[in-house]
Structure 1
Amino acid sequence: MLLSRQSALRASCVEGPAPAGGAGDGCPPVRGALCPPRELEEVEAALERIAQGRFGGCEQCGGAIGRQRLLAVPEARCCLTCADARARDTDR
């Protein structure tokens, strides 16, 4: 899944300029329509964690990232509990 997303993101970066909208207009970017460099970085970081045998472990608490979370967000660095805590801290 990650390799497929990596290929798609790289291809979208090569295809040409991003269409209007999506960046800064309050709407999330459309997958494959833009080149979201942050998303590509996260996917490549997840592939590196797989290669190092660290995939599926939370970078904050060291616990396991749940299977359902990894299926939904395969590039996740943190478990849902730590991600929620980080989001609450960011909102302050």
Structure 2
Amino acid sequence: MLALRRDDTAACARVGITVTKKIGGAVVRNRLKRRLRSAIRAVVPQHGRAGTDYVLIGRSDGLSRPMIDLMRDLTQGLQKLSKSRPLEQKA
């Protein structure tokens, strides 16, 4: 997961998802993206930082991992990123 702090005063966190072709064909990649979107909807409103862009990079483990574990991993990642400084700031 990557984070980018925006300078605007937006009241929401934005999230993007990327899944490479190494994971599998379009059907497999889309299944993983659907699972990640579901986890995002459940976790980011509570744990995401307003005015921050997040990028999730899909890994093949996400296909077989239980949904509760995906949500817990996402929560831990967001908490870890909120303690550290975002990678860069937009000018």
TM-score (norm 2): 0.28
* Structure number with higher strand proportion: 2
Structure of greater relative contact order (alpha carbons < 8 Å, 6+ residues apart): 2
